[in-house]
Copies of this chain bind each other. A is one copy, B any other.
Amino acid sequence: MTTIHQVAEAAGVSISTVSYALSGKRPVSEKTRRRIEEAAAALGYMPDAGARMLAGRRTHIFALTEPLRADTHAPTHMAFVLATSIAARRHGYDVLLLTDEQASVGMSRVASSRLVDAILVLDVAPDDARVEIARSIRTPTIFIGLPDDAEGLTCVDIDFEAAGRLAVDRLADAGHTAITLLGQPAVSYRTSNFSRRLRRGVESGAQARDIALETTCSGELATDAGVVRAVVEAALARGDRAFVVHTVTDAHEVLLSVLADHGLRVGHDVSVVSAATAFDTSDLRTPLDTIPLVPSQSCDLAVEIALHRLEDRTSSPRIHLIPPEYHPAGSVRTLADR
């Protein structure tokens, strides 16, 4: 093992100079800095993590809590974990996993043992148990998602309400007067807040634009092709020609296949907007207008806020809502087609 002493000796300087040269926390003459860097590289020096944690005020580790619920959509979840990890590494941070039902206990543990500098909370439930833990510890905690009671918390999330309104606005602009929301499985409205918020946005958007709205679920526990098919058939029977889709891939395909069965051309006879989807809709048979859910947006911001909180301990909690983006792909009919 190479220590800072050996690097110092090799470079002919003191250990403090080595420390400062490598951390950049104090100006070091160009020449000695190069010597130190060369020595460090030659010896394969890497500061001891434990020593750094003990002496410094940073551990360079974030905890990431993720309560793997049964209804967790694995691919989306993984995308968030990956995005968080990449964002953290970009700032020299590693990610410690706090999985399973022990997430709450784990938070207290890593906080009081000073194992991590901050905690990032994924997959936030409306009445998340981690909320009260977060309030009880001094370790900065950032929620990626919005619980019902966010008092005193720092949260980062997409503005799902705005996303819902945005989707409706586009459809209303295209001249539609009746919209069907093809929503998440019913269980999602019980366990997640983002689905509710999106639905609320769609509802308020419809009200504001005087649109007739039908909101539906894509199944009970999971997305059910039969349910989706029935919902779409009913919508078409009502005369609805505009859909806001907020669910997983499969339902998109069912929707498109039903529309095709009816000989309806997406972007001409009917309009479809896919809202808050984490996957790539360009793989679908018909490209869809999307309001994408980009994990890196939330995760990058969460990491930055965490770091900022470490710099400035006095900065106060806040809710950061990221404005939704609309990505057109021709699936909403234009004025020319009316």
Contacts and interface: CB of A to CB of B under 8 A. Distances in A.
Nearest to A95: B97
A109 interface: yes
Contacts of A100: 82, 85-86, 89
Contacts of A54: 48, 50-51, 53-54
Contacts of A78: 68, 72, 74, 77-78
A282 interface: no
Interface stretch (A111-119, A167-175, A326-334): A111-119
Nearest to A97: B95
Contacts of A96: 61, 94-97
Given A51-B54, A68-B82, A113-B47, A97 B97 contact: yes
A56 to B, nearest CB: 8
Contacts of A85: 97, 99-100
Contacts of A113: 46-49
A115 to B, nearest CB: 4
Interface in A154-201: none
Kindly report how many copies of this chain are found in the complex they form together: 2
B59 A97 contact: no
A152 interface: no
Contact of A59 (B49, B82, B86, B114): B49
A283 to B, nearest CB: 10
Contacts of A97: 64, 81, 85, 94-97
Interface string A288-303: 0000000000000000
A50 B59 contact: yes
A50 B116 CA distance: 10
A226 interface: no
The 3 closest A-B pairs by CB, nearest first: A50-B53, A74-B74, A50-B54
29 contacts: A1-B112, A1-B114, A2-B112, A46-B109, A46-B113, A47-B113, A48-B113, A49-B53, A49-B59, A49-B113, A50-B52, A50-B53, A50-B54, A50-B114, A54-B54, A64-B97, A68-B78, A74-B75, A78-B78, A82-B99, A82-B100, A85-B97, A86-B99, A86-B100, A89-B106, A94-B96, A94-B110, A95-B96, A97-B97
